[in-house]
A = this chain, B = another copy of it.
Amino acid sequence: MSVYQATASAPVNIACIKYWGKRDTKLILPTNSSLSVTLDQDHLRSTTTSRADPSFKTDRLWLNGKEEEIKDVGRLSTCIKEMKRLRREVEDKNPNEPKLSTYGVHIASKNNFPTAAGLASSASGFAALVSSLAALYKLPATPSELSLISRQGSGSACRSLFGGYVAWEMGSASDGSDSLAIEVAPQSHWPDIHALICVVSDDKKGTSSTSGMQRTVETSPLLQHRIKHVVPERMEAIKKAILARDFDSFARITMQDSNQFHAVCLDTDPPIFYMNDVSRTIIAIITEYNRVSVENGGKLKAAYTYDAGPNAVIYAPKENLKEIISLIIKYFPQADAFKDPFNLFGAQGVGSGAIVPGFNEAVAKQFPVGSVKNLIHTRVGDGPRVLPAEEALLASSGLPKDLA
């Protein structure tokens, strides 16, 4: 008997032009276009195995070994239904194809980073789900076509269907058929962009992005101006910067847009705060680091960006990462030794950090150990990967190998 099964992994992406606000909450159609950098799956990824079998009575899904309910009208169910619909088109065209669209499907998914890292796993998760089902169903769909479906799972998941530099074009069709991801440039175009994720402790539970963004749409007078007048210009400018490998412009726009996203959160009633004093201090450090460079006739050397939480992601050309990591560790001493995946510091390690020449140390005070819990050094990466059978997360029983 044939086993119909496929495994795929998908990357995390971190936006430079932020998605905040839906014009259609059911179809997940955004109020503005957005743009992100796909991070390397060697460091951060979701992996999903899907299997179709005539003996499976219902669709089932396990996340990190724990079964999750697939609600009838939920986002998971929408994605699975849409993928089965595309499979049906394949079967209708070629009657020799097995009728996988009529079978139940078992799906096992896991993330290689802890939820506690504060990284949104829904983008990589839905991208991996859609990618594994596309492989299972042997769909001829392009990544942009698949992005239409992962978008309905989690908006920003559409951007994880590509590697490199990815735009989510908001589109204008009311059925969402033109609200999809496109590749602005592949990883290979500008592989030099690295990222340092600063995982920041937070005492308080933030507002969820799903409810937060709609409150902003309903109450922020400034959001409309951002949507209509600011983002369209920035989308064009940052695409140009990426194509020209112009880090100075890329960094300026990225920081401005992160700040404007948090500005419209603050303009929401009641206001939404995602950044805390640690986040603000990382901004002060990167601002000072850039100031030193610019005052010496150089260009911007790093760009911070913050999503709906206190964690900083710092983008920079690889050559600056050593200085940046040293600076961050100087102000935010680490409990554990820095994991140095690119071996920047050699056997000696980063130690207790260091200040770059000309840097005004007084821009911030040193924080207690644990204020930044973890530092993850990664870089721009590729798009979803179809993995060999030995990487499957489902056992021959059709249940997850790591069943909790």
Interface residues, chain A, with chain B CB atoms under 8 Å away: 203-204, 221-222, 225-226, 229-230, 252, 255-256, 259-260, 262-264, 266-271, 273, 276-277, 280, 283-284, 287, 363-365
Q: In the complex, what distance in Å separates the CA atom of A365 from the CA atom of B267? A: 24
Given contacts A225-B221, A269-B259, contact A204 B264 (CB under 8 A): no
**Complex interface: chain B residues within 8 A of A255 (CB):** 269-270
Bound-state CA distance A270–B256 (Å) is 8
- How distant is the Cα of A268 from the Cα of B255 in the complex, in angstroms? 10
Partner of A264, one of B203, B263, B277: B263
Give the Cβ gap from A219 to chain B, nearest Cβ, in Å: 8
A204, A256, A267, A365: most-surrounded residue (chain B CB, <10 A): A267
Dominant secondary structure of chain A at its interface with chain B = helix
Contact A260 B256 (CB under 8 A): no
A284 and B252 CA atoms in complex are apart in Å by 32
In Å, the complex CA distance between A263 and B269 comes to 12
Nearest Cβ on chain B to A58's Cβ, whole angstroms: 38
Return the 10 tightest CB-CB contacts between A and B, nearest first: A225-B225, A263-B263, A263-B267, A263-B266, A270-B287, A259-B271, A277-B277, A222-B222, A221-B230, A273-B280
Q: A283–B49 Cα gap in the complex (Å)?
A: 45
Partner of A226, one of B222, B270, B364: B222
- Is B270 a contact of A266 with CB atoms below 8 Å? no
Give the chain B neighbours of A280 by CB distance below 8 A.
273, 276
B203, B260, B271: the one contacting A267 at CB < 8 Å is B260
Q: Are A260 and B221 in contact (CB under 8 A)?
A: yes
Cβ contacts under 8 Å, A269 to chain B: 252, 255-256, 259
Once bound together, how far apart are the Cα atoms of A49 and B381, in whole Å? 70
Chain B residues with CB under 8 Å of A229's CB are 221, 225
